[in-house]
Amino acid sequence: MSYDEMYSYLEARVDALKTNKTGDERQTVDEVFDRQTLMTLYDLMTSGVIDSVRFPISTGKEGNVFYAEDEDGDPVALKIFRTSTSTFKHVRKYIEGDPRFKGLTGNRRKMIYAWANKEYRNLQRYYEAEVPVPEPITFSKNCLVMEFIGDEHGPSPQLKDVVLEDPDDTYDEIISFIIDGYRDAHLVHGDMSEYNILMMGDQPILIDCGQAMTADHFNSKELLMRDIENVNRFFKGRGADIIKTDVILNEALSEEEEE
């Protein structure tokens, strides 16, 4: 496919994604698919990472996630970070506060590109530490490609929308995300809740890891406590046997203190 054909295809897909959308939804699509983003998608398609963009899966504070397919027809998730001013204001504090990006300065778009890089690197850390997250595939500028969490019927549901057969087991599993994430991935998610966990059958999967900070961040312990309290609040309402916040916090920090 030539450049002109590829670009025409991408424009046609964007027009198709606008069909039957309200004014606000159409504006969101326009914000996501600006010309530079279309060029990034073009590069991902010509390199064989993705073959087609099918339909939106979710809309978040900083970007939209789309169901896409690779060149073998297998599903992947494509997250496109908006480069709008509001997104820039939201993510800037997480980039500037991350020791891995110390000294980074630049315009809005450069900061958003760093955000995509940050989520990719966080997913890598979690994945290598065997914390269940979507497997990261690649990123380019404001686009992140990762494993699709779902099946032929669509994406897996959020934890908040699932009736749990055994809340205690699911609770224990998610608490292990917090402890192992801090100990082994040296990350604290910072926004862990029933909205940022998908349920693939009875297996919880942690998502939306862009804001996660390294364990050496000055505010990491406060973020860790917030994650624990959010998870405890949700599972208390589901009847699970809750572990006290300070007990979980001490468990996560124990290895660090021994070192």
Positions marked active-site:
191, 208
* Closest-CA residue to 77 (of 8, 153, 143, 11): 143
Q: How many CA atoms lie within 13 A of 83 on its CB side?
A: 17
The single residue listed with the structure tokens 């065997």 is: 130
Based on the number of CB atoms within 10 Å of its own CB, is 152 exposed (0-12), middle (13-18) or buried (19 or more)?
A: exposed
How far, in whole angstroms, is CA 88 from its chain's centroid? 16
76 near 146, Cβ under 8 Å? yes
Please choose, from the candidates 187, 170, 165, 157, the residue with its C-alpha nearest in 3D space to the C-alpha of residue 234.
170
d(CA 253, CA 111): 31
Give the three-state DSSP class for 61.
Answer: coil
- What angle, rounded to 10 degrees, do the helices at 23-32 and 3-18 form? 150
CA distance linking residue 141 with residue 115, whole number of Å: 9
Angle, nearest 10°, between helix axes 245-258 and 167-183? 30
